[in-house]
Each structure stands twice: as structure tokens, then as C-alpha cells.
Amino acid sequence: DTGVSQDPRHKITKRGQNVTFRCDPISEHNRLYWYRQTLGQGPEFLTYFQNEAQLEKSRLLSDRFSAERPKGSFSTLEIQRTEQGDSAMYLCASSLATYEQYFGPGTRLTVT
């Protein structure tokens, strides 16, 4: 499968725990985006990378959230001290230079 992949697909954690998600973009795509989607809503932008540089962060990305793309390939999104309000689908998308973004299957996070 040459599409965007994400791991894990589902994560259940207790409030206060840290979680980390991984995204593998389409090979050679230099842009990588993270979005969050809650039930009945459209995806909301969190942050994006061009190669290894994090160029934009949404106000939604609190200090508890951090993202990295160390070698310009895969990316990780970490949430520290999770809260129930963090429960959502976390989607990753990648694109080549500009325009068309292709989404991964998402990681569904449930915070109990």
C-alpha cells in the first residue's frame, strides 16, 4: 500500500497519560499535515511540516501537544497529560509541494 499510513489505528488511554501517534506519508511527499476530527465535524488543522521544518501551528495545538518530523519522512504527534477533551480522530495528510492532500486512515483516541 503506497498511501498514507498511521499507527496505531485505535488508542485507549487514561486521563493524564501520554500518547504518541505515528504517520508515514506517501513516499517523496515533502509536506505533512496533522488534523483532528471530532464526531460530526470537519477536520481541524493542527500543524504542518515542509520536509523536517514545522512551519505552522494552529491555536488548537496547546503546550501539551508536540509534533516532530526528524528526517523529513515519518512524523510523530505526542499528547502529554491527556484530557477527555482530547478524544478525537487524529488524521495525517501528505502532499507533494502544494495543493492535493491525501489523508491517512487516522488514529482514534479515546481518553477515559
Partner 1 sequence: GENVEQHPSTLSVQEGDSAVIKCTYSDSASNYFPWYKQELGKRPQLIIDIRSNVGEKKDQRIAVTLNKTAKHFSLHITETQPEDSAVYFCAASTVNSGYALNFGKGTSLLVTP
Closest contact distance (angstroms) between CB of 17 and partner 1 is 25
Closest contact distance (angstroms) between CB of 91 and partner 1 is 7
- Is residue 67 part of the contact set for partner 1 (CB under 8 A)? no
- Is residue 74 part of the contact set for partner 1 (CB under 8 A)? no
Q: What is the DSSP letter of 84?
A: G
Bond from prior residue into 8 cis (ω within 30 degrees of 0):
yes
Taking CB under 8 A as the criterion, the residue among 45, 72, 73, 80 binding partner 1 is 45
> Which is nearest to 34 in space by CA: 95, 85, 81?
95
Contact string (CB under 8 A) for partner 1, positions 3-42, x = contact:
-x--------------------------x-x-x----xxx
Interior angle at CA 33, CA 87 and CA 62, nearest 5: 50
Options 15-23, 60-68, 76-84, 96-104: segment touching partner 1 (CB under 8 A):
96-104
Grid coordinates belonging to 100: 492535493
Strand order of the β-sheet with 19-24 is 5-7, 19-24, 75-79, 65-68
> Which is nearest to 94 in space by CA: 36, 35, 30?
30
**Which chain residues interact with partner 1 by CB under 8 A?**
4, 31, 33, 35, 40-45, 48, 50, 55-56, 58, 91, 93, 95, 98-106
